Amino acid sequence: MIILGIESTAHTIGIGIVDEHGVLANENDTYTPPQGSGIHPREAADHHILVVSSLLNRALDKAGVRLSDIDAVAFSQGPGLGPALRVGATVARFISARFNKPLVPVHHGVAHIEVAKMATGARDPLVLLVSGGHTMVTAYSGGRYRVFGETMDISVGNCLDMFARFLGLPNPGVPHLEECARRGKVMLELPYTVKGQDMSFAGLYTAAVRLVKEGRRVEDVCLSIVNTAYYMLAEVTERALALLGKRELVLAGGVARSPILRGIMETVASEYSVILHVVPPEYAGDNGAMIAWTGLLAYRSGVRVSIEDSVIRQRWRLDEVPIPWLSGG
Ligand code: AMP
Ligand code: MG
């Protein structure tokens, strides 16, 4: 069984090709906004349109397959930026119609989780999903991934990226901010906002900007914002581990590449005697392989969508998505 998957929720357009044994191709191209600005949805979409056909050819060459060989085409149906999502959905619909292949809708957040499980061998983990769009602690239970804590406003990646941009650091923001944080010496007080199992990061960004404007040492502010944000994640993760009793912890999404976050989660995992699995870097950020792999799981469970019903879902919540490959239904 060969599945082609298309990712295009935000900054990255990706084409992945997988079979039951693993990934045959994972070709991605990321739009980088001009220095100092965030992602403009229309510009990201223009980028995706420009590169998608060469990306598709490269992926097919790498995998050694033709479009007529694939069994189904999966695409990221949401959540994400409308114009960017529409590029991937349109290409997927074209392949589906032209080659008479079933179309399989995939939720982007579920794909971050499933590719991390596939790549690390985790079976029934608690997942800390920290990507550009998601900040949540989630685990599978009763047919869906349930949310056991999430951000009430912006994602942690977004908070740190915005602050990096404010400092004039290049994209992607988080690794550059962490480099700066390593030169920090003093922890400054910043809003640490955990309410129940939910977190808030918008005020953290605003307060960090204020500290810089007040003339505090930039490296100290970097150290403080990074640590404050990651310790909020650690608290929520710890409580979910204590409540749910899961034996594995998976770190998934683009920010999972952070060695600082990984170090903190290693401590959390060892305190609760759980195994920490961190998604490998090539599957951490948005990528085509995660959509293809989740598409394969979904396709094997009978998930399909007609072209008429394949409209993108910009605000699709993770806990609304049925997960038939785990429920057996
Ligand atoms: P995603 O949407 O999953 O591609 O994740 C994007 C987020 O990952 C952004 O907030 C980036 O700043 C962050 N990111 C990218 N590379 C790294 C890295 N090496 N370490 C930590 N975070 C990263
Ligand atoms: Mg993502």
Q: Is residue 254 part of a domain?
A: yes
Residue 264 and residue 137 share a domain: yes
Q: Is residue 77 lining ligand 1, measured as CB closer than 6 Å?
A: no
Q: What does the pLDDT read at residue 316? A: 98
Residues 156 and 50 in one domain: no
Out of 251, 266, 282, a domain closes at: 282
Q: Which ligand is nearest to the CA of 173?
A: 1
Residues 309 and 296 in one domain: yes
297 belongs to a structural domain:
yes
The CATH code of the domain that includes 73 is 3.30.420.40
Residue 198: inside a domain: yes
86 and 105 in a common domain = yes
Cβ of 175 below 6 Å from ligand 1: yes
Is the pLDDT at 35 greater than 90, yes or no? no
C-alpha distances out from residue 100 to 72, 73, 93, 214, 306, Å: 9, 10, 10, 61, 12
Rounded percentage of the chain residues whose pLDDT exceeds 90 = 97
- Is 309 found in the same domain as 160? no
Q: What mean pLDDT is reported for the chain?
A: 97
* Local confidence band at 329 (pLDDT 50, 70, 90 cut-offs): low
pLDDT tens sequence across 56-106: 999 999 999 999 999 999 999 999 999 999 999 999 999 999 999 999 999
Cis peptide before 172 (omega within 30 of 0): yes
Q: How far apart are CA 233 and CA 96, in angstroms?
A: 40
In a domain, 250, yes or no: yes
Q: Where are the beta strands (DSSP E) in the chain?
A: 3-7, 12-19, 22-30, 72-78, 103-107, 126-130, 135-141, 144-150, 193-195, 198-200, 248-252, 275-278
User: Is pLDDT at 199 greater than 70 in this prediction?
Assistant: yes
Same-domain status, 209 and 151: yes
pLDDT at 37 exceeding the cut of 90? no
Q: How many domains does the chain have?
A: 2
Q: Are residues 134 and 271 in the same domain?
A: yes
User: How far away, in angstroms, is 49 Cα from ligand 1 center?
Assistant: 23
Is residue 241, in this structure, part of any structural domain at all? yes
pTM value > 0.85: yes
264 confidence band (pLDDT: 50, 70, 90) = very high
In-domain check, residue 300? yes
Same domain, 165 and 218: yes
Is 130 within a domain?
A: yes
Residues 186 and 307 in one domain: no
Query: Is residue 263 located within the same domain as residue 170?
Result: yes
Residues 98 and 156 in one domain: no
Return the residue whose CA atom lies nearest to atom 4 of ligand 1: 285
Residue span of the structural domain in which 45 resides: 2-112+285-327
Query: 153-163 pLDDT, tens per residue?
Result: 999 999 999 99
Q: Which atom of ligand 1 is nearest to the CA of 285?
A: 4
Single residue among 266, 282, 298 that ends a domain in this structure: 282
User: Looking at the structure, do residues 31 and 130 belong to the same domain, yes or no?
Assistant: no
87 within ligand 1 shell (Cβ under 6 A): no
117 lies in a domain?
Answer: no
The whole-number pLDDT of residue 328 equals 74
